[in-house]
Amino acid sequence: MFQLFLKDTNKALNIDKSRRKKLKELSNKIGVKFKNLKLLNQALTHTSCVEKKSKIESYERLEFLGDAILNTCVAIILYELCPDYKEGSLSSLRASIIDGKTLSEVAFNLRLLDYINLGKGETLADSRAKEKVSADLVEAIIGAIYLEFGFEKALNFVKNLLDSEIKKRIKIGPKDFKTQLQKLTVARFKEYPKYEVIKEEGPEHNKIFEVSVSVNGNQYFATAVGRTKKDAEQRAAEKVLQMIRGSDNTKEE
């Protein structure tokens, strides 16, 4: 495991009494007693709250770190729980567990947006922005836990945080909606689904992709977003599968 050196954030910014109370409240809620509340505060600080030449840092670096830690933690958990699964199935399962929608639901249950630091006049009115920021907060907190407490604490936190989701996904099993859609469309329409990236947003390490898929011209068409192209394509394929099966009760053998 890699080790990082954490700079002295105690000198980076002062936290007022009311904010400190909120941070302690969240710390108790997630079951991780941060001694360095300034690190937790950073994990909850949106880029809109950071000004040039300010000592305040946003959650972006912690989110970048937390994303890597989360991927590793879920990989370890699935490796232990699914000894008969091959690499492809493990990768598919992991992607379904740590996608933006799942993480945003976790954040919603913890009401993380109630604790976020936003800049003056900044709002998260758009549902897509809320989903992305919510997922980012979860990853940033995981990064903060790793920095203060180490990998084992981060692993245990992820296990507790995603326990029900992991069990549910394992019970369902890995789903490859793109393959299912391709088999169905080739058999029915004698053609392959057509995928297209409509939009890419965000920094290189944290992009959001919007992808469309069309079948039989545009008879069946859907769009979806994801944190990777593959994730977005899987979501879009699932939507079109539901459309086709719902329209004529076609069932894949």
Mean of pLDDT over the chain: 86
In angstroms, rounded to a whole number, what is the distance separating the alpha carbons of residues 52 and 211?
34
pLDDT higher at 52 or 5: 52
Please give the pLDDT value at position 13: 53
Please give the pLDDT value at position 9: 42
Instruction: Encode burial over 224-241: b for 16+ CB neighbours within 10 A, e otherwise.
Output: bbbbeeebbbbbbbbbbb
The verdict on whether 201 is a catalytic residue reads no
What residues make up the domain containing 120? 15-172
Q: Please state the domain count of the chain.
A: 2
pLDDT band at 52 (very low <50, low <70, confident <90, very high): low
Contact (Cβ atoms closer than 8 angstroms) between residue 144 and residue 62: yes
The verdict on whether 16 is a catalytic residue reads no
When pLDDT is averaged across residues 209-237 and rounded to a whole number, the result is 90
Q: Catalytic: which of 60, 131, 136, 139?
A: 139
- Both structure tokens of 51: 């000004």
Any domain includes 200: yes
Residues 190 and 153 in one domain: no
Q: Catalytic: which of 57, 60, 63, 67?
A: 67
pLDDT band at 249 (very low <50, low <70, confident <90, very high): low
pLDDT band at 55 (very low <50, low <70, confident <90, very high): low
When pLDDT is averaged across residues 93-102 and rounded to a whole number, the result is 87
Pick the last residue of a domain from 124, 146, 172: 172
In angstroms, rounded to a whole number, what is the distance separating the alpha carbons of residues 115 and 15?
13
CATH number at residue 205: 3.30.160.20
Pick the last residue of a domain from 172, 200, 217: 172
What are the residues whose beta carbons fall under 8 Å from the beta carbon of 162, sequence distance 6 or more?
A: 74, 97, 98, 102, 106
